[in-house]
Structure 1
Amino acid sequence: MAIKITRNEFRPISRRRFLSTAAGAGIGAIAMPYLSRAADRPLVTHGVQSGDVSSDSGVVWARADRASQMLVEVSTSESFANARALPPIAALPESDFTAKMLLENLPGGQGIFYRVKFRDLAHTSIESEPVVGRFRTAPSDRRDVSFVWGGDVAGQGWGINPDDGGMLTFSTMRKHRPDFLLHSGDTIYADGIISSEVKLADGKIWKNVTIPEKAKVAETLEEYRAAHKYNFLDDNVRAFNAEVPIFVQWDDHEVTNNWSASKELPAAYKERNIALLAARAARAFHEMYPMRESIVEPGRVYRSISYGPLLDVFVLDERSYRGPNGPNLQETYGPDAYFIGPDQMAWLKRSLLDSRAMWKVIASDMPLSLIVYDDAANRRGSEAFAQGDGPPRGRELEIADILRFIKTAPIHNTVWLTADVHYAAAHYYNPNKAQFQEFEPFWEFVSGPLHAGTFGPNELDNTFGPEVRFIKAPGEGKQNLPPSEGMQFFGHVKIDGASGQMTVTLRDRADVALWSTTLDPKLG
């Protein structure tokens, strides 16, 4: 029988550990009137998260089940000795009872423990049980850096299946104790229904945990929020989130498949206004993740995150500013060819130029040279950068401009990380084999899905001279493989503090190292 979760049935995991931690910190002796109303206490409904961590700060997130104040304590000790209590912030219905707080003035390269609870606004003597999370701040010196990346979660109807262990890739990634997860987008599939059962090719049944809101495509703000909260029901995801910070970006499925201003919505949508759907989706996305929010442009996704002297991460937004998903064959650059757009391009150039980190990771939610059709059935229209073999056209003009800038600046040690296509690959970009040659050689690494159907491989566009050095994909006739087939992928990056070498490894959910390479930094 499939498991169905209603919104009031979820309870946090590891209750015993959290209670023992709280008692060890000296808060076990609580007044009897407080305990007598235990059944009325608020709940931390979906675990805790941290994100956008720097050398002296990080953002923490949690959600309550009612109007509350979020109370956060922070310490460098798991015992919470000498913990610092921060001023409370509100968690209100307007934000779906979510709240996030920037923790500042933290020591660099240090393990940070935080404890979150909620105080009922209607009965201020009543507080939730505390939930504990941890992260490590970015180093101020050249210590080793380790992180994982990937995208695509709960896609194609493959949801949380307890019989398959849930979203197992998150458990595998957690074992590596990474400094952070770079989430490359498609954090949810707002356009994807999660049915209670899916019949597999061998006749077996895949059984999903379900919630009412995932029985249809997301259209309302509440339905978009619910799609994110669905993923947080998974034990592996919550355990991962409590220990590993997230640097998150979005792609198309946070709204609907292949969305752009020209999107023609399928019949499943009663709401026909794509701009309105995107606005609701963006609000839910920002509510549900521990992102640093821009005061210059509220709702901005693109940003840079400095992670010590060895690494800067430049998170792109390839959705909010793109032109229509049309043919994109323009010979000159203009609004119809926008993909990241002029303002974001100018920001990226400035930020790369200002970076003093050894490695510059450019987080692109879509690959540079893999062809993705807007209308896959008829092989028409453009969803990604690639426009087919030949010199740069349309959206490719942006990549040509960026690559030319990186060469002439000059800026060394850039690496592109991406997901989107639901398979693993390593691409080496060789100007000697490119149609456009004004760039220095560089690497692009592709990973994912973290928990979705496996597809591919895609056609390769020769404009920028990509060479496929590794690929792991199901191949023709074996598309949309379920997670139980094991072809779920993530990437793992290690930067050696002493040598500065970057080792990139592509792994599957069983933690098999499929392929690896070590890159030497260019100095000076």
Structure 2
Amino acid sequence: MILKETTRRRFLSSVGAVGGFAAAGLAMPFYARGSSSRPVFTSGVQSGDVDVDSGVIWARVDRPSRLFVEYSTTDKFANAVRLASLDVMPETDLAGKVLLDGLPPDQEIFYRFVAADLQDINSRSEPIRGQFRTAPSTRRDIRFVWSGDTAGQGWGIDDEGMRTYRTIAYHRPDFMIHSGDTIYADNPIPDEIRLRDGGIWKNRVVTDEKRTIAQTLSEFRGQWKYNLLDEHVTDFNAVCPVFYQWDDHEVLNNWSPSTDLRADDRYKEKSVSALASRASRAFHEMTPIRYVAEEPGRIYRKVSYGPLLDIFFVDLRSYRGPNTHALDREITPQSRLFGEAQVAWLKRELVRSTATWKVIACDLPVGLVIWDDFGKRSGSESVSNGDNGAPLGRELEFADLLRFIRDAAIGNIVWLTADVHYTAAHYYDPGKARFQDFLPFWEFVSGPLHSGTYGPQELDGTFGPEVRFIKAAPGGIESNLPPSAGMQFFGLVDIDGATEQMTVRLMDRDDNELWRTVIDPQRTS
């Protein structure tokens, strides 16, 4: 599908208003051209977790600084609201974020930062700007995207950069869900990779922190700073909020709190708990995710996006039991993925939700079988265990949740995920399932944003998934095609403000529409 020129012009005009790249898309953003005699913003700006009356904004500088922040409802910053200043220090790697609240609903918000050197308070940076739109308090059309998996398998910033972000930006979504594997802390990026056809992939940008696996806090922070060296990423972040969750590669592949690293010679740090703690700190420092007062560092949360949409971000990584193939017949701490507190929260918040659509942003697919040991079938990484039978082990927690949703008559739930590095549409039908105590639902899979592309995983029949569409690389888990092969994917969701219908499209990075479906809202009693 060819982009409409009106959409392109609208996007380029918007980017220009916040100081991003020129219309040709070739110029470096202005914030990378500051003088070394005064503070410089190193990584663009970000916004996230935007709702009806608030949003979080973020920036990072090159030295200890005082950040002055203001926002306005116009790009000329007329009648700007000036906030209290914020000092950023090495303790947060010179990054800072601010909650803007008390904002008007359904309103474009323009914000800017100026940094003053704490050693010379009169030495000030050029301003850096961004924008977002608050969620509506009434019914209007909503557009958002989701995907996952950025800078994995050694595929870093080449001459084209992380171009999928630029393609997404042309659609002018209200926000993006990053479904996890936001970084690849365990995947070093080399200067070049020899391709199977004899060609060479050259990573134009490589940093010291990305040449090795992350173990120290500084190295985990460096994973994030690497992604933010890409112009497509920073230009996108300036005009579109990103709602983040994590999966495994923010720490290391397929990790759980019981991961044993004693035999892994790559790691001098053998405590996965220490690695996860450092990874979590870097995740919260380097993203515009909100802090949850009752549990600082928590990732699962709800973002209410007006009367048509609530998004429930879940975390299947932090509270799980070990990745074994134990087929328990009752829920135990060893068989959990959500954890008891999180699943109780999710049930409670789903019941409370009055939004038409309830999107569960999940870092793992429900019905795909993902083995911890790449097919040897001795340890389950995901939900399904591959036996196509009644729920056992980790499937029990999901069976309990799905039964609860049915019994509480909670309609219009859609699951969105990434993780497996291809795109697919799955429809879960209780009439075709071994476990049948649930309402039918859709699960849509899309990714990667900029990583290797793999072949399809097997489906488990416990919850009755049916593949309605799939596009994946040939060769299964061994394929690992580079981004230049074109099989980078994202999902595009439109909710019609009048009909409340949800349209889901699966897209590739060249903006080809691969598949779509329209879902009518169901009324339950």
TM-score by length of 2: 0.92
Partner of 2:455: 456
Looking at structure 1, the residues matched to 52 and 432 of structure 2 have their Cα atoms a distance apart, in angstroms, of 40
**Cα deviation, residue 410, structure 1:** 1.1
**Cα deviation, residue 19, structure 1:** 7.8
Query: Residue type of the partner of 2:503?
Result: T
Query: Residue type of the partner of 1:183?
Result: H
- Aligned residue runs from structure 1 range 297-312, under 5 A: 297-312=295-310
Which secondary structure does the structure 1 equivalent of 2:469 belong to?
strand
- Aligned residue runs from structure 1 range 470-489, under 5 A: 470-476=469-475, 479-489=479-489
Q: In the alignment, is residue 515 of structure 1 matched against residue 510 of structure 2?
A: no
Partner of 1:409: 408
How big is each residue's C-alpha offset from its partner over 1:392-422, in whole Å with a ceiling of 9 and x where there is no partner?
1111111101100111101010000000000
- Aligned residue runs from structure 1 range 237-386, under 5 A: 237-265=233-261, 266-376=264-374, 378-386=376-384
Indicate which of 154, 157, 179 corresponds to 1:157: 154
Which secondary structure does the structure 1 equivalent of 2:120 belong to?
coil
**Cα deviation, residue 380, structure 1:** 2.1
Looking at structure 2, the residues matched to 60 and 262 of structure 1 have their Cα atoms a distance apart, in angstroms, of 35
Looking at structure 1, the residues matched to 454 and 101 of structure 2 have their Cα atoms a distance apart, in angstroms, of 42
CA 1:19–1:345 in 2, change beyond 3 Å: closer, same or farther? closer
Partner of 2:7: none
- Aligned residue runs from structure 1 range 191-206, under 5 A: 191-206=186-201
Structure 2 residue ranges without an equivalent (≥5): 1-13, 21-33
Q: How much identity, in percent, do the aligned residues show? A: 58
Which secondary structure does the structure 1 equivalent of 2:283 belong to?
helix
Query: Residue type of the partner of 1:174?
Result: A
**Cα deviation, residue 16, structure 1:** 9.6
How big is each residue's C-alpha offset from its partner over 1:273-315, in whole Å with a ceiling of 9 and x where there is no partner?
1110010000000101001101101100000000000000000
Partner of 1:187: 182
Structure 1 residue ranges without an equivalent (≥5): 1-13, 21-36
How big is each residue's C-alpha offset from its partner over 1:248-285, in whole Å with a ceiling of 9 and x where there is no partner?
00000000000012323322111111110010000000
Looking at structure 2, the residues matched to 185 and 19 of structure 1 have their Cα atoms a distance apart, in angstroms, of 28
Looking at structure 1, the residues matched to 457 and 200 of structure 2 have their Cα atoms a distance apart, in angstroms, of 29
Indicate which of 193, 211, 229 corresponds to 2:207: 211
Partner of 1:23: none
Query: Residue type of the partner of 1:480?
Result: N
How big is each residue's C-alpha offset from its partner over 1:417-448, in whole Å with a ceiling of 9 and x where there is no partner?
00000000000000011011000110000000
Which secondary structure does the structure 2 equivalent of 1:380 belong to?
coil
Which secondary structure does the structure 1 equivalent of 2:342 belong to?
helix
Question: Would the aligned equivalents of 1:76 and 1:111 in 2 still touch at CA under 8 Å?
Answer: yes
Query: Residue type of the partner of 2:468?
Result: R
Q: In the alignment, is residue 99 of structure 1 matched against residue 122 of structure 2?
A: no
Question: Would the aligned equivalents of 1:368 and 1:385 in 2 still touch at CA under 8 Å?
Answer: yes
**Cα deviation, residue 225, structure 1:** 0.3
Bigger Cα displacement from structure 2, 152-161 vs 111-120: 111-120
How big is each residue's C-alpha offset from its partner over 1:73-127, in whole Å with a ceiling of 9 and x where there is no partner?
1001011111111111121100000000000111100111001121111211111
Looking at structure 1, the residues matched to 161 and 499 of structure 2 have their Cα atoms a distance apart, in angstroms, of 38
Partner of 2:3: none
Question: Would the aligned equivalents of 1:42 and 1:118 in 2 still touch at CA under 8 Å?
Answer: yes
Question: Would the aligned equivalents of 1:19 and 1:129 in 2 still touch at CA under 8 Å?
Answer: no
Question: Would the aligned equivalents of 1:19 and 1:130 in 2 still touch at CA under 8 Å?
Answer: no
Question: Would the aligned equivalents of 1:407 and 1:439 in 2 still touch at CA under 8 Å?
Answer: yes
Looking at structure 1, the residues matched to 323 and 454 of structure 2 have their Cα atoms a distance apart, in angstroms, of 21
Partner of 1:31: none
Partner of 1:62: 59
CA 1:309–1:224 in 2, change beyond 3 Å: closer, same or farther? same
Looking at structure 2, the residues matched to 16 and 107 of structure 1 have their Cα atoms a distance apart, in angstroms, of 24
Q: In the alignment, is residue 128 of structure 1 matched against residue 130 of structure 2?
A: no
Question: Would the aligned equivalents of 1:111 and 1:136 in 2 still touch at CA under 8 Å?
Answer: yes
Which secondary structure does the structure 2 equivalent of 1:375 belong to?
coil
TM-score by length of 1: 0.92
Looking at structure 1, the residues matched to 395 and 65 of structure 2 have their Cα atoms a distance apart, in angstroms, of 48
How big is each residue's C-alpha offset from its partner over 1:360-387, in whole Å with a ceiling of 9 and x where there is no partner?
0001000001011011152320100011
